């Protein structure tokens, strides 16, 4: 499905809420800092979305397995760096603003890991999602957790076990991507803008309830959902009274 209709320019309300991630590059402390800096800005009370991730590139297979493509920074052990990266992605996944990922070309390594945290995902036709692989097989990071959580075991088996790529067209059918656009640029397609405009307040709470649904029993989830409903009712009452 190609989208070649009109586009909506990303507003200037939050021009700094954007970061580019090159999946062909090894994970570095600078990448972690960039995502944390983005989250700092997005968590500001005055921030307006969406948060935009511009993603491209995938690591060479032979270079990505030993430490998941993670480069050893100055005095930073690889596992420590990976842990910091995973925590930065978790922050991104908990923002109360919509997170949009725009993929140009193939997407793998750290770019794929970031993509899987996004709420709305746009890619070019013909692009591929590539799990980081090498002589040691697929890197067993949290991208595998997110892939399986979002798609299920059957759909992700070949990617997780054997590093099989997922073409963008297949990812669209699986709802791993939301939109294919011939030339993703600095503008959001109207279809994406309309979806994001409907997000409303409480996005972070609803996202977390959704993510918890596959691992939480009904009884455990009930209290959290009731608390979320109570917050919405209180906000509605406060708006009606003002």
Q: Answer whether residue 11 shows pLDDT above 50.
A: no
Question: Do residues 146 and 118 lie in contact, with contact meaning Cβ atoms separated by under 8 Å?
Answer: no
pLDDT tens digits, residue range 172-218? 999 999 999 988 766 677 777 777 777 777 888 888 888 888 787 87
Q: Among all chains, which residue has been given the structure tokens 């580019």?
A: 20
CATH number of this structure's domain 2-197: 3.90.226.10
CA–CA separation, 156 vs 224, rounded Å? 29
Q: What is the pLDDT of residue 214?
A: 79
Q: What is the pLDDT of residue 229?
A: 78
Q: Among all chains, which residue has been given the structure tokens 């002589």?
A: 135
Q: Answer whether residue 5 shows pLDDT above 50.
A: no
Nearest alpha-carbon partner for 17 in 196, 137, 165, 190: 196
- Domain spans, the chain: 2-197, 203-241
Q: Answer whether residue 8 shows pLDDT above 80.
A: no
pLDDT tens digits, residue range 212-239? 887 878 788 788 778 877 877 787 777 7
Question: Do residues 64 and 109 lie in contact, with contact meaning Cβ atoms separated by under 8 Å?
Answer: yes
Q: How many CB atoms lie within 10 A of CB 2?
A: 11
Between residues 80 and 33, which one has the greater pLDDT?
33
pLDDT tens digits, residue range 201-213? 788 888 888 888 8
Between residues 218 and 17, which one has the greater pLDDT?
17
Nearest alpha-carbon partner for 178 in 14, 31, 50: 50
Between residues 55 and 227, which one has the greater pLDDT?
55
pLDDT tens digits, residue range 139-161? 888 898 899 889 989 999 999 89
Q: Answer whether residue 18 shows pLDDT above 70.
A: yes
Q: Average pLDDT in the 106-112 region?
A: 94
Q: What is the pLDDT of residue 51?
A: 92
Mean pLDDT for the chain?
Answer: 81
Q: What is the pLDDT of residue 176?
A: 96
- In which band, very low, low, confident or very high, does the pLDDT at 127 lie, cut at 50, 70 and 90? very high
Please tell me the pTM assigned to this model: 0.79
pLDDT tens digits, residue range 56-78? 999 876 344 434 444 333 334 48
Q: What is the CA radius of gyration of the chain?
A: 18
- 58: DSSP letter: -
């Amino acid at each position: 499905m190609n989208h070649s209709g009109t586009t909506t320019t990303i507003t200037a309300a939050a021009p700094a809420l954007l970061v580019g991630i090159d999946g062909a590059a090894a994970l570095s402390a600078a990448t972690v800092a960039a995502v944390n800096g983005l989250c700092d800005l997005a968590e500001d009370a005055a921030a307006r979305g969406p948060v935009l991730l511009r993603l491209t590139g995938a690591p060479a297979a032979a270079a990505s397995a030993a430490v998941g493509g993670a480069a050893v920074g100055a005095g930073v052990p690889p596992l420590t760096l990976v842990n910091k990266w995973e925590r930065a992605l978790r922050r991104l996944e908990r923002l109360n603003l919509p997170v949009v990922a725009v993929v140009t070309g193939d997407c793998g390594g750290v770019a794929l890991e970031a993509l899987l945290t996004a709420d709305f995902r746009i890619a070019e036709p013909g692009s591929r999602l590539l799990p980081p692989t090498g002589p040691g097989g697929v890197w067993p990071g949290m991208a595998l957790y997110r892939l399986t959580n979002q798609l299920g075991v059957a759909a992700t088996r070949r990617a997780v076990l054997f590093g099989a790529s997922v073409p963008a067209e297949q990812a669209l059918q699986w709802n791993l991507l939301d939109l294919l656009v011939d030339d993703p640029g600095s503008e959001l397609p109207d279809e994406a803008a309309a979806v994001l405009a409907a997000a409303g307040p409480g996005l972070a709470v609803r996202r977390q309830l959704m993510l918890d649904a596959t691992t939480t029993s009904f009884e455990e989830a009930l209290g959290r959902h009731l608390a979320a409903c109570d917050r919405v009712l209180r906000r509605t009452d406060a708006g009606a009274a003002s």
